[in-house]
Amino acid sequence: MALMTGEQYIESIRKIKMEIYMFGKKVENPVDDPILRPSLNSVRMTYDLAQMPEYQDLMTAISPYTGKRVNRFTHIHQSTEDLMNKVKMQRLCGQKTAACFQRCVGMDAFNAVFSTTYECDKAHGTNYHENFRKFMTYCQDNDLTVDGAMTDTKGDRSLAPHAQADPDLFLHVVERRPDGVVVRGAKAHQTGILNSHEVIVMPTQSMGPDDKDYAISFAVPLDTKGLYMIIGRQSCDTRKREGSEMDVGNSEFGGVEALTIFDNVFVPNDRIFLNGETEFAGMLVERFAGYHRQSYGGCKVGVGDVLIGAAAVAADYNGANKASHVKDKLIEMTHLNETLFCCGIACSAMGQPTESGNYLIDLLLANVCKQNVTRFPYEIVRLAEDIAGGLMVTAPSEADFRDPKLGPVIDKYLRGVASVTTENRLRILRLIENLSLGTAAVGYRTESMHGAGSPQAQRIMISRQGNLAHKKELAKAIAHIKE
């Protein structure tokens, strides 16, 4: 099958009968729901851009496994150039949506599972790599979107999976059958899962021998019996139901997360990629997290580009654009944003092949990248709020602006420079509000903090990968110390 157009993608999701709940009710038509649709539009962008000749090299690649052109979001990285193109593609998608476009998590799961299954098979004589390659080529051939489900709900964070008061707080195998396994548990914060055709489940952390039933990885379609989703609500989300595209700030695009329940879900043998080999859980987590930490050096940078642009427009519109401190703040925002991009590119350029042949990023640099992402977007938002002025949170609604009595008053008093309409000024401020405090802030701020792991997870990796012993040797050599 050729690559899907955006429209074909939307219709393909419409055909999947998913069980989704939001605000205490079952969502019968998620594709056309005003709160959920913007998130679907963001994924759609990954299909639309792949159809455009000017973006073909970035958005697509030739799969060495099928010989066909595939969307890069389903590609297995073959070189450092592929790794760098991934980051550039993510920046582009961030620029076009100013939101989380959700498809990265599946791409990162693809590449982590690809190499981990290869090494697990070598150690244990299992058949997981072949299972995964069959699944991967099916996704490539049909141009599918795949969710990556790692994070368990985890209960008491100080306890291992098997030691939890409730055994279901980490997803686990509850029954082993000749034809497959039955699993139970939940995955939290699942980005874009309702906009996906398939979900790859992975363990959430390293595991010991007592956690055998928890060391499970597999893929199932989203209409699998027993799988259902409860949508996470985002700040200002019900504005999307009010019918004012102006008040939403970015009415076309958005992100979405869901608590996803696996209530005795059956997984057939040929969809299993890990099943009890506990020592490979850690490798899978480390590689997935590494790829995902690289991802943020692209996607958040693209969204940052839009926010920096919006802040500059806001300064133009209120006549502060020539002030030296405003110019300097825009330089600072750009510096921070490009630093993140540097990290994304650097960990890609320093990538190395794994035993399976696909390329893995430099893990130390990927963790440095994500550690910076836990900080810099917050500073970029702070500076954008500074430049925007208070009106970004106190502006009247569009309904007031359209009111025959109030509209002219708002138009008169909320104008900035005379040459720009008040409506345009309000529109750019609403976009800044959306990115700083509204629905997009989920993706730009809190996802920057916790997505791909909370800050401490990167610091642990940095301490492991930083090779302090080597640095001490360097210092001793320079100081002519002989011990």
Ligand X SMILES: Cc1cc2nc3c(=O)[nH]c(=O)nc-3n(C[C@H](O)[C@H](O)[C@H](O)COP(=O)(O)OP(=O)(O)OC[C@H]3O[C@@H](n4cnc5c(N)ncnc54)[C@H](O)[C@@H]3O)c2cc1C
Interface residues toward ligand X, by CB under 6 A: 105, 148-151, 154, 157-158, 187, 189-191, 257, 442, 446-447, 450-454, 456
CB nearer to ligand X: give 375 or 450.
Answer: 450
Choose among 345, 372, 293: nearest CA to 108. 293
What count of Cα atoms within 13 Å lies in the side-chain half-sphere of residue 403? 10
Helices and strands, counts by H and E, the chain = 19, 14
Neighbours of 454 (CB within 10 A): 11
Active site (annotated) includes residue 104? yes
Choose among 373, 187, 355: nearest CA to 287. 355
Choose among 39, 32, 36, 55: nearest CA to 103. 39
Active site (annotated) includes residue 292? yes
Active site (annotated) includes residue 447? yes
Q: Which of 93, 100, 343, 369 is catalytic?
A: 100
Q: Which of 75, 77, 197, 292 is catalytic?
A: 292
DSSP track, 350-383: T-EE-TTS-EE--HHHHHHHHHHHTTHHHHHHHH
What length does the chain have?
Answer: 483
CB nearer to ligand X: give 77 or 189.
Answer: 189
Choose among 218, 221, 228: nearest CA to 181. 218
CB nearer to ligand X: give 249 or 453.
Answer: 453
Q: How far is the CB of 126 from ligand X (least distance, A)?
A: 23
CB nearer to ligand X: give 287 or 329.
Answer: 287
Q: How far is the CB of 371 from ligand X (least distance, A)?
A: 12
**Could you tell me the CA-to-CA distances from 406 to 347, 394, 400, 416, 423 in Å, in that order?**
54, 15, 6, 18, 13
Please give the Cα distance from 57 to 70 (Å, whole number): 11
Q: Can you read off the two tokens belonging to residue 278?
A: 């506990």
Q: How far is the CB of 168 from ligand X (least distance, A)?
A: 16
Q: Which of 120, 299, 343, 369 is catalytic?
A: 299
CB nearer to ligand X: give 187 or 427.
Answer: 187
Q: How far is the CB of 189 from ligand X (least distance, A)?
A: 3
CB nearer to ligand X: give 112 or 311.
Answer: 112
Choose among 265, 456, 438, 285: nearest CA to 374. 456
Q: How far is the CB of 312 from ligand X (least distance, A)?
A: 27
Q: Which of 80, 191, 224, 278 is catalytic?
A: 191
Q: Which of 19, 119, 257, 286 is catalytic?
A: 257
Active site (annotated) includes residue 296? yes
Q: How far is the CB of 105 from ligand X (least distance, A)?
A: 4
Neighbours of 53 (CB within 10 A): 6
* Active-site residue set: 100, 104, 191, 257, 292, 296, 299, 447
